[in-house]
Amino acid sequence: MTAAVAAWLPFRRKQPVRAIHIAEPRKIAFLDAPMPQPKDGEVLVRCSHVALCGSNMGQYTGEGVWGKLTFPNPTGWAGHENIGTVVESRCDQWRPGTLVLAQPEGYYGFAEYICARPPGIAALPAEAPDVAALIVAQPLATVLRAMTRTGHVINQRVAVIGQGPMGLIWTRLLGLLGARQIIAVDLLGWRLEWSKRYGAAAVVDASKEDVVAAVRELTNGEMVDFCVDAAGKVASMATSAHLVRREGRLFVFGMPDYNDQQFPWYDTFRNETEIITSVGPECAAWFQLAVDMVVDGRASDLGAMVTPRMPWDRAAEAFEMYAACAEGSLKLTLDL
């Protein structure tokens, strides 16, 4: 235990915790919260970095499946991408003073202090030159878990619809796994420049082109073997269904906007498309692998997408930027 951690412990229950919550749609409120108390098997982490996720945006805007939420949202909810230092441990394998990537219990991660438990904790190198960049390991872990369900892509044509942080990670990893041709699709031209950086052989600007026609031309009429919808929008999912060759695979990875969402089911049925899904909370078992890949060079270039980085007191501005897909806003991270 470091001297600083030891000196802090006697006073922790008296110290207010900086936190935010969504008070009403598109309104962030700052507040002081009680210090969380770790249970047996948990650690208490003082956070230095908290990232926003696309899954937070429906919650923030109150749209789609999130339209029935009760406001204000619970304090700290639903932040789930945190880096910080263990300051108290009730888990034998984790020592105070350890720098970690942590998945907060209850997803109450928009706060200065969180409780976490294995396997949702991964050790980070204390000497890392850019600690904030390592937060990309959390979304990387969700894609790694999803990839255990994709089947192989070696020498196959693939398309990824949506080139936000998740889509860019898919683009990068599909290349590492041996995909023959990677086609990236997005409505924003500036995101497609990042797609090229991460290995897309071709990009399609959906704001200017007929995506299905463009993919048909790029594949000489064969379409793709495997398509990932990393956006979850009504239009993106309808488009993705028409990019897959007969008996191809469609991975619905982006969170759908609505429970009862229009989709070309008849065409998909006639095409005998295999549909795969995956969701993030079970990704914690892949945390340490994801961290190791970012640290050891296999996926270190993904850290560049941790941008912009903004101070905690600009959280309201950060949420609005993320919701608006402001240019340059990818894995937006708040620094505490």
Task: Examine domains 3-139+282-335 and 150-277 and report if their fold is the same.
Answer: no
Rounded distance between C-alpha atoms, residue 309 and residue 326, angstroms? 13
Quickly tell me which residue has 């230092």 as its tokens.
Answer: 85
Topology annotation, domain 150-277: Rossmann fold (3.40.50)
Identify residue 134 by its one-letter amino acid code: L
The pTM for the full model equals: 0.94
Query: In this structure, what DSSP letter does residue 208 have?
Result: T
**Mean pLDDT of the 227-244 span:** 97
Least confident of 7-11, 129-133, 273-277, 315-319: 7-11
pLDDT reported for residue 4:
47
Q: 10 Å Cβ neighbour count for 37?
A: 12
**Mean pLDDT of the 111-121 span:** 97
pLDDT tens digit sequence for 251-298: 999 999 899 999 999 999 999 999 999 986 678 899 999 999 999 999
Identify residue 297 by its one-letter amino acid code: G
Residue 173 pLDDT > 90, yes or no? yes
The structural architecture, per CATH, of the domain 3-139+282-335 is: Alpha-Beta Complex (3.90)
pLDDT reported for residue 282:
74
Q: 10 Å Cβ neighbour count for 2?
A: 13
Number of H helices, E strands in the chain: 10, 15
Rounded distance between C-alpha atoms, residue 116 and residue 221, angstroms? 49
Indicate the domain borders of the chain: 3-139+282-335, 150-277
